[in-house]
Structure 1
Amino acid sequence: MVQSMRETERKYEVPSSADTSWLPELDRVDGVSVVVDRSPEELDAVYYDTEDLRLSGSSAVLRRRTGGADAGWHLKLPLQGDSREEIRSPLTDTVPDALLDLAMSRTRGAELTPVVRIRSTREVRHLVDADGALRAELCVDSVLAESLRDKGRRATWNEVEVELAEDADPALLDAVEKKLRKKGIARSQSPSKLARALDETAAAPAPASADLDPDQAGAHVLAYVRQQVSSLVALDPAVRRNRPDSVHRMRVACRRLRSCLQSYRSVLDRDVTDGIRRELKWLAGELGAERDQEVLMEHLGKSIGALPEELVLGPVAARLRVWNVVHSTESRRRTLDALGTGRYLALLDSLALLLERPPLRTKAGKAADQVMAKAVRKEYARLTGRMTDALELSPGPARDVALHEARKEAKKVRYAAEAARPALGKPAKRLGKRVKAVQKVLGDHQDSVVARGALRDLAVAAQTAGEAGFTWGLLYGTEQARADTRERELPPVWERAAAPEVRDSLHR
């Protein structure tokens, strides 16, 4: 059984003296009425990581800690700003399976072993408001870190942690920091005790040096790839716990990566990237079943809810719920099965290797604006061809397929422009915005195509069970009308995306 909480804290460098007379009077901070001294704590934590420190390299922490009020296993995952998610599990002798799973995208299945032991003598002060509610906790730690690897080097230091209480105003951290700075107490350069311990005991490998000029195409493409790989890895724990929108976001990261590797084949060797693209397509497909079911259920549920009561004949809502349980259970299992395969871990290994030893081609060393503008123009030309072909077809199944293919091309243009935006600036931003509008219309159209297929299946099942099929037929007709509307909207939206000022601005 694990418990998750949000932790928002800041760390500060402090004098080496154990005397804490240098601490400011924090009861004068706005929102704090009294500072309450708590009993000292003795904390003993052993930190686990892979041989090549994959967890700490991704700003994650896994430790087994005794002492204090929260003794147990802690997995800390980075969030935005000063926040992290802390996932706790009770004390056991070995790493809990639940935490192993949540760390899997970072460890990639490699063995976890003890790397550092950190013992802290902690003085605790509670910052309490006028109502007696805890607003923040200030801890003064005297730290002894010991490497558990070959030479067992040690390091000592003192630090202050200020952790925000749940639901407290984040502005309190700024107010406390202002008081600390007036006393000459600066923010720590290390994001965590573990990071500092690894650095000061020489347990961390030296960072790799960058060989690419920041203005070169290779640097821009790799920066985008790195961003998407980080998103994919970071979203894995949320997908495993079925957090809202996590499957969708992870699937989008797969698509962005796959599209980037295709669009910028002049920068990264396709002999390496084509295999990765195939595996990204597989993963996106496995995630897609669950995501598509989420979208479809939400859409159909709203459609039924919008109907007047007199037009809902038979157990329509109940049949929809049963249908969703069957399909969502199957798609959820498919997602989790995919994340538990060696194939998925091999994909993560391939992505890590791609970033560590990128297969750069000659154009990677060329100017980013020239190389990336050409790549975006190529994708844009493919989209133009797809749109021209689709709009020339008469309404019907063939046109539905053609519009769906055009939608896929629109996504490729968007993602290519997105990656190129730091190099191309406003032209890439404008193109991305207008193509997104095209993609939105095409997406609504495709959603209607998929919804009609599901509605037909539901109608057949209802008829077989002797239920009225009127409502399902009504919804089917509504979806058909929706698709017709989107097809009428498409030409002017595409005309804006295909305007000369958009097309010509990409030339470099």
Structure 2
Amino acid sequence: MADAETARTVETERKYDVEGDFTVPDLTGAATTGPPKSFTLTAVYHDTDDLRLAAGGLTLRRREGGPDEGWHLKLPAAKGTRVELHAPLGTGDGPPAELAGLLLAHTRGRPLQPVATLTTRRTVRLLLDADGRVLAELADDTVHAEHAGSETTWREVETELVHGPPEVLKKVEKRLREAGAEPASTASTLARALGDSVPRPLPSAGEEGTAGAAVTAYLARQVAAILAYDPLARRSEFDAVHRMRVAVRRIRSTLKSYRKIIDRERVPELRGELSWLAAELGAVRDLEVLRMRFTARLATLDSRLVRPTAWLAALDRREAEAYRALNDALSGRRYLTLLNGLDALVVLPPFTDRARQPAAKVLTKRIGRVWERFAEAYESAETDEARHEARKLAKQARYAAEAARPALGKPAKRMAAHAEAMQEALGGFQDGQIAMAELREAVTAATDPGEAFTLGVLYGTERRDAHAAVDGIDEVWISG
């Protein structure tokens, strides 16, 4: 869970490379420019000795000067967007424990140490609308970097969204580029300072164009997703556990679907550990889904029907306990050993002879067989248990097609989309079944008649919607 002293912001920004004599252009039409303010920033960046944070797109710095001095940890969230965590400077030079702890999956226990010092002379202009509201901030920086005994100086411009819509950054970018600015050649200021010393991602195993290369490239993307969402999951960030769990499931499913390419029998321990991690993440996600689902349901009811919700408070407590257990799991040796195993899977996968064959030939055959299994299961599913099994096979078909999409193009894309639609349709019924089971258990423990009545109303709603979901599944099947 988040530390009380740690502040969180989400930053959406764009960086530009500019020449030393660059002049910030007139931005009239994009925004009104406030008076410039200048100050000096000194930032000491921390990383492992082999720059694991930089390789993963994360930055941890101790910055003095300016309005937000302190420790800053930046985590990639989406394209052009990062979650930034702030902590006070403190009395020591080492990173705060609450920030360092979030990086365990990346550092794997290696110590964090200073790797670069950046001194920046910054001039800031606020970009305002007609009412004086701050839309964005434009920073014009002259940066002096010291790293590994070398020094370099350059100039760059950065725009960061504050209260304005994303379109503001597009309008400002147009003016900047007309004046000679170019999109930054590196992902961050630190990346430019470190240059070629940042480890490059290892190429996918297998010769280009082969089935092995296609499958390991997909696996590598899922391993990267686990690492990206790990710090956010530790902080209970919205949807982070879900996305991390999906990445784990994709790896497990890929090892099953493509067992003729990657020998599953040579990674039995890894498959077992993936199941363990999926269960740890699922314990949180299942409760998270129920809480959000029931909270939304209650909001739609007539207020006269809603009575004390002690059962919902109990669900909140169970979710908090599950998060604590998950954090313990993510901080243990078992998890770090699994991550090391996943790294090895991507770099040195136990290929079969079929892995060296052309991707198009092998993957077409594999996804066809996976789809046939799903289709047979769906068309014969007449019980709740059978529908649940069909849903799991729909997910397997979806992930198999996703892995094959770069090699097979539109056919794999269409299959993945149809499988996802069926997964969602079947999931609507399954989610209703899980919700009804939770409500049945809650009503047996209810002592307040009014609360029991509320639970009964919710149960009726869930039952109605679950049956409606079943009625709509065939339509999704046919439309695909």
| Shorter-chain TM-score above 0.5 | yes
* SS of equivalent to 2:182: coil
* SS of equivalent to 1:281: helix
Using the size of structure 2 for normalisation, the TM-score is 0.86
- Could you say if the C-alpha distance between residues 433 and 190 of structure 1 is closer, same or farther in structure 2, counting changes exceeding 3 Å? closer
For 1:249-264, list aligned pairs within 5 A: 249-264=243-258
- Decide which of 30, 36, 40 is 1:42's aligned counterpart: 40
For 1:390-429, list aligned pairs within 5 A: 390-391=381-382, 399-429=383-413
More displaced stretch, 130-139 vs 428-437: 130-139
Aligned-pair distance for 1:316?
A: 5.0
Q: Quick check: 1:51 aligned with 2:28?
A: no
Specify the alignment match of 2:103 in structure 1: 103
Aligned-pair distance for 1:167?
A: 1.4
* SS of equivalent to 2:71: strand
Specify the alignment match of 1:238 in structure 2: 232
Alpha-carbon distance between aligned partners in 1 of 2:182 and 2:361, rounded to the nearest angstrom: 44
- Could you say if the C-alpha distance between residues 299 and 116 of structure 1 is closer, same or farther in structure 2, counting changes exceeding 3 Å? closer
Residue type at the aligned position of 2:113: T
Specify the alignment match of 1:164 in structure 2: 160
- Could you say if the C-alpha distance between residues 418 and 35 of structure 1 is closer, same or farther in structure 2, counting changes exceeding 3 Å? same
Aligned-pair distance for 1:412?
A: 0.8
Alpha-carbon distance between aligned partners in 1 of 2:203 and 2:323, rounded to the nearest angstrom: 41
User: Which ranges in structure 1 are unaligned for 5 or more consecutive residues?
Assistant: 392-398, 498-508
Aligned-pair distance for 1:75?
A: 0.9
- Decide which of 287, 295, 306 is 1:293's aligned counterpart: 287
More displaced stretch, 407-416 vs 81-90: 81-90
CA displacement 1:472-502 (0-9 Å, x = unmatched): 55655665565555555556655666xxxxx
- Decide which of 338, 350, 353 is 2:329's aligned counterpart: 338
- Could you say if the C-alpha distance between residues 207 and 308 of structure 1 is closer, same or farther in structure 2, counting changes exceeding 3 Å? closer
> Are the equivalent residues in 1 in contact too, given 2:204–2:220 (CA < 8 A)?
no
Specify the alignment match of 1:432 in structure 2: 416
Aligned-pair distance for 1:56?
A: 0.5
> Are the equivalent residues in 1 in contact too, given 2:363–2:404 (CA < 8 A)?
yes
- Decide which of 148, 157, 180 is 1:184's aligned counterpart: 180
- Could you say if the C-alpha distance between residues 404 and 29 of structure 1 is closer, same or farther in structure 2, counting changes exceeding 3 Å? same
> Are the equivalent residues in 2 in contact too, given 1:9–1:161 (CA < 8 A)?
no
- Could you say if the C-alpha distance between residues 197 and 360 of structure 1 is closer, same or farther in structure 2, counting changes exceeding 3 Å? farther
Residue type at the aligned position of 1:33: T
Specify the alignment match of 1:194 in structure 2: 190
Q: State the structure with more CA Rg.
A: 1
> Are the equivalent residues in 1 in contact too, given 2:47–2:112 (CA < 8 A)?
yes
- Could you say if the C-alpha distance between residues 446 and 125 of structure 1 is closer, same or farther in structure 2, counting changes exceeding 3 Å? closer
Alpha-carbon distance between aligned partners in 1 of 2:461 and 2:126, rounded to the nearest angstrom: 60
Aligned-pair distance for 1:13?
A: 3.1
Residue type at the aligned position of 2:325: R
Using the size of structure 1 for normalisation, the TM-score is 0.82
* SS of equivalent to 1:184: coil
- Could you say if the C-alpha distance between residues 388 and 163 of structure 1 is closer, same or farther in structure 2, counting changes exceeding 3 Å? closer
CA displacement 1:162-202 (0-9 Å, x = unmatched): 22241134444344444444443433312222111211xx5
Specify the alignment match of 1:506 in structure 2: none
Alpha-carbon distance between aligned partners in 2 of 1:474 and 1:243, rounded to the nearest angstrom: 31
Residue type at the aligned position of 1:321: L
For 1:211-250, list aligned pairs within 5 A: 212-250=206-244
Aligned-pair distance for 1:57?
A: 0.5
Aligned-pair distance for 1:63?
A: 1.0
Alpha-carbon distance between aligned partners in 2 of 1:231 and 1:318, rounded to the nearest angstrom: 36
* SS of equivalent to 1:156: strand
- Could you say if the C-alpha distance between residues 364 and 136 of structure 1 is closer, same or farther in structure 2, counting changes exceeding 3 Å? same
> Are the equivalent residues in 1 in contact too, given 2:58–2:73 (CA < 8 A)?
yes
* SS of equivalent to 1:36: coil
For 1:20-39, list aligned pairs within 5 A: 20=21, 22-26=22-26, 28-34=27-33, 36-39=35-38
Specify the alignment match of 1:120 in structure 2: 120
Alpha-carbon distance between aligned partners in 1 of 2:31 and 2:459, rounded to the nearest angstrom: 60
- Decide which of 342, 352, 356 is 1:351's aligned counterpart: 342
* SS of equivalent to 1:103: helix
Alpha-carbon distance between aligned partners in 2 of 1:121 and 1:309, rounded to the nearest angstrom: 57
Alpha-carbon distance between aligned partners in 2 of 1:431 and 1:79, rounded to the nearest angstrom: 28
Q: Quick check: 1:80 aligned with 2:78?
A: yes
> Are the equivalent residues in 2 in contact too, given 1:138–1:160 (CA < 8 A)?
no
Q: Quick check: 1:457 aligned with 2:441?
A: yes
Aligned-pair distance for 1:64?
A: 1.1
Specify the alignment match of 1:501 in structure 2: none
User: Which ranges in structure 2 are unaligned for 5 or more consecutive residues?
Assistant: none
> Are the equivalent residues in 1 in contact too, given 2:291–2:316 (CA < 8 A)?
no
> Are the equivalent residues in 2 in contact too, given 1:162–1:173 (CA < 8 A)?
no
